[in-house]
Amino acid sequence: MRPVNYHRVEKVFFDYSEQIEGVNIHYACTPLGESPDWVGERATRYLPLVEPRLRRKELKLPIRIRGGIGGEFTDRYLLHYYFEIFLDGDRRYSPLYTEEVVTGVGVVAVADELESTASISAVAVSQGRAAEGDATSDSPESADANDTNKAASGNTALIPATRPPAPASKGKP
């Protein structure tokens, strides 16, 4: 059995209008107290309609990110996200939401995390998987993502935040 190297967070979005054609979620993770780099670190996922007027998706987030004291890998970080709503031919944006994520796997020193990552890669290669194939398929960049227009339940807490920079263009995707 492969070790789980991501943390799951389910997000939902309620279609407040029957004219909503589609919804994307844009998200980024940062150390506590930092702002996201929306250009370099943003991931985008489509939220499918799973019931009438209800969209749901699961975000696969890292179990740790670098940014603790002394550059440690920490299991406590911020998830920043907003929704892009395609409504009646126009593109609209939700407010920015920020939640604290606690995965519960603990903090590790940089050297320990790098050694752990090397072990996981070695296991993947020994099982005949290419480094670009299955070994990375659980990464947040390649995983499906989702979000909600309300705070997530469980081990996250909603924190007030600022709006992300507005995109350069408007119109249909």
Report the predicted TM-score, pTM, of the whole model to 2 decimal places: 0.65
Count helices and strands in the chain by DSSP H and E runs:
2, 11
d(CA 98, CA 20): 24
- DSSP string of 109-122? -HHHHHHHHHHHHH
d(CA 101, CA 149): 17
If pLDDT is split at 50, 70 and 90, which confidence band does 168 have?
very low
Q: What is the pLDDT of residue 68?
A: 66
Tokens representing 103 are 């995965």
Q: Whose CA is closest to 36, among 85, 103, 98, 87?
A: 98
Q: Whose CA is closest to 94, among 39, 55, 50, 41?
A: 55
Q: What is the pLDDT of residue 1?
A: 61
